[in-house]
Amino acid sequence: MINPYQVALTLVTVGLVWFVRRRSRAKPRLPLPPGPPGLPLIGNLKDMPTNMEWEKYHEWCKEYNTDILHLRVATTSFIVVDTAEIANDLLEKRSSLYSGRARLPMVNELMGWTFNFGFMDYGNYWRKHRRIFHHSFHPTAARQFHPHISRATKKMLNRFLEDPSDMMEILRHLAAETVLKIAYGIEIQAKNDPYVRVAEAAVHTLLAAAVPGAYLVDAIPLLKYIPAWVPGAGFRTEAKEWRVLANKMVEDPYRAVKAAIANGTAIASFVSVSLQKMEEGTDEAYQEDVIKSTAGTMYTAGADTTVSAISSCLLALTKHPEIMRKAQKELDSVVQAGNLPSFDDEPSLPYITAIVKETLRWRDVVPLAIPHMLSVDDEYRGYHLPAGSIIIPNAWAMLHDEKVYPEPFRFNPDRFMKDGKLDFKTQRDPNHACFGFGRRICPARYMAFSAVWLAIASILYVFELEKVKDEDGNDIEPLEEYFSKLVILVKPFQYTIKPRSKEKADLIKKSVLASEGFN
C-alpha cells in the first residue's frame, strides 16, 4: 500500500534538490529589481495578494520607489511592470523576448485550457490561431459582424423593457448571443440555454484560476503529480471537474455546426466559413484543430469582458446623471426619429465614444492584463531579469496614473473631449493599456469595442438610469464593489431603469420585430 507521507516526502525532496541546483548556479552580477524580501525556499509565497492584486503591487512599487517590482515564489520570478513607459520598452520594443506565456499548469495542463490561444506560448502553433482570427476580426473584416451585434443589442433592450431587474443576466445573454452567433451561427434560447450555461460555468472557473499566484502548482509544477487524495491537493479534484466544463464548452457547439453543415442548415459563421477555407486548401493555417480552438477562445475572450465593461459603464451613469443627460442630448441631436443608434452614427457621437473610453480606463476590464513570460535573460535599467520570469503588466496602475490622468479615480468622459471633439493629446487614449500589450494584444479589440459602444449608445437613447430611493425619498448611492478575478465584474448594485418615453418603448418593440427578419 502506498504511504501518502512517503510520497509527499519524496516530492518535497525532489523539489528541494531542484531548487538548490538552480540557486547554486552562478548568480548574475546585476541585481534583481527591488521588492519585498522573501523567506528561504518559498520566497514571497505568503506575501502574494489574493484580492485586488493590482492595488497591492502598486502599493509595493511606491514603497520600494520603483516602477518595476520583483517577487519570487519558490523558483519562479514575477516581474510587475507598473508604468506604461516600461511596458512599452519591454513588451512593445522587445516583444520578441516578452511574448511568451507562463506555463500555467493549473489552467492548461490540469483544467484543459490548452485550446485557448490566449494562453498558448509564443510560436508557430500560436501564430496559426492568431492568423485565422485576424482574417475575420481585423478592423475591416469585423464590420461583417455588425448586423449580429445590432440584432443582439435590440433584443437586450427588449429584455430591459420586459424585466430590468437582473442587469448582469441581461448583459450575459447579450454577450453570449453575440459571440455564439458570430463564432458558430447558433441561435441561443431566451432562457437557460445549455451552451450558455456550460460556457459561463467554464469561464468563471478560468477567471479564478488564471490570476497569477492563485495556485501554488503554477509556481511549482511538480505539484501537479501529487495524487488528489494527498492533504492539500484539493486543486486536483477541482481541476478534474473544471476540465469537463472546458471540454464541453469547446466540443458541443463545434459538433453542432458540423452537424448543421452536413444536413445543409448551417448559417454563415466563423466556423462554417473557416471549414470551407480548410476544404479549399489555400491556407495551411486553416486546420480543424486550429479552427475549433480559435472558436472556443472567442467565447472565453468575449463573454465576461463585454459584461464587465457595460455593467461598469451603467454603474457610472447611475451615479452621474449629469453625464447621462449630456450623452442623451448628443444622441437626440444625431439619431433620426424612429431609429435606434447605429454604427453609422458613431463619427457623429464623440461623447458616447468618450464615455466608453473612460469606462475602459476607470474600471479596466483586465487590471493585470494576461501575464507574459520572458524567454531569455534580459537586462533593463541596471537590473537582471531572469529567463522564465512571469511578467505582470499592471494595466490598472497605468490607467490610473495621475501624471497622465488627473483625478484618475473620477469618472470623467470630458477628459477626452475638446471643443466638442474627441481629443487624446492631453490625456492618452486608454487603448495603450486596456487591450493588452505587444504581440499579445487582444485581436478582438475592434469587435469588442463596437459591441460595447452600440450597447451603451442604445441604452442611453431609450432608457433613463436612476438611483433607487429609500422610504424617505432620498437617493441610495449604488455601491462600487467588484469581484476580484482575472476579469473584474461589478457586484450587483441598486438601480432603476425605465423608458425615456412611450415612444422610446414602442421603438424598442418595433426594432425587435424588424430584426427577426435578419438571418
The one-letter code for the residue type at 307 is V
> Would you state the pLDDT for residue 138?
86
* 264-292 exposure pattern, b = at least 16 Cβ within 10 A, e = fewer: eebeebbbbbbbeebeeeeeebbbeebbb
> Would you state the pLDDT for residue 231?
85
Phi, psi of 355 (to 5 degrees): -65, -45
> Would you state the pLDDT for residue 393?
97
Q: Is 56 helix (H, G, I), strand (E, B) or coil?
A: helix
Number of domains in the chain: 1
**Angstrom distance (rounded) from CA 215 to CA 238:** 11
> Would you state the pLDDT for residue 429?
97
CATH (domain of 173): 1.10.630.10
In this structure, the strands spanning 68-73 and 417-418 are unpaired
> Would you state the pLDDT for residue 19?
52
The answer to whether residues 399 and 361 touch, using CB atoms and an 8 Å cutoff, is yes
The answer to whether residues 355 and 313 touch, using CB atoms and an 8 Å cutoff, is yes
Q: Domain of 452?
A: 4-515
Angle between helices 288-319 and 270-280 (to 10 degrees): 150
Per residue, what are the HEC states of 311-376? HHHHHHHHHCHHHHHHHHHHHHHHCCCCCCCCHHHHHHCHHHHHHHHHHHHHCCCCCCCCCEECCC
> Would you state the pLDDT for residue 4?
40
Q: Which residue has the cell 445590432?
A: 150
> Would you state the pLDDT for residue 3?
42
Binding positions for heme:
442
Distances (CA, A) of 364 to 5, 402, 434, 444, 449: 45, 15, 6, 16, 13
**Angstrom distance (rounded) from CA 51 to CA 367:** 12
**Angstrom distance (rounded) from CA 168 to CA 500:** 21
pLDDT tens over the chain, length 519 residues: 334 434 343 344 445 545 544 554 445 589 999 999 999 989 998 999 989 999 999 999 999 999 999 999 988 999 999 999 999 999 999 999 999 998 889 999 999 999 999 999 999 999 999 999 999 888 888 888 899 999 999 999 999 999 999 999 999 999 999 999 999 998 888 778 888 888 888 988 988 888 877 888 888 888 889 888 888 888 999 999 999 999 999 999 999 999 999 999 998 899 999 999 999 998 999 999 999 999 999 888 877 899 999 999 999 999 999 999 999 999 999 999 999 999 999 999 999 999 999 999 999 999 998 899 999 999 999 999 999 999 999 999 999 999 999 999 999 999 999 999 999 999 999 999 999 999 999 988 999 999 999 999 999 999 999 999 998 889 999 999 999 888 999 999 999 999 999 999 999 999 988 877 644
Binding positions:
442
Query: Which residues are CB-contacts of 160 (< 8 A; sequence separation ≥ 6)?
Result: 170, 459, 463, 497
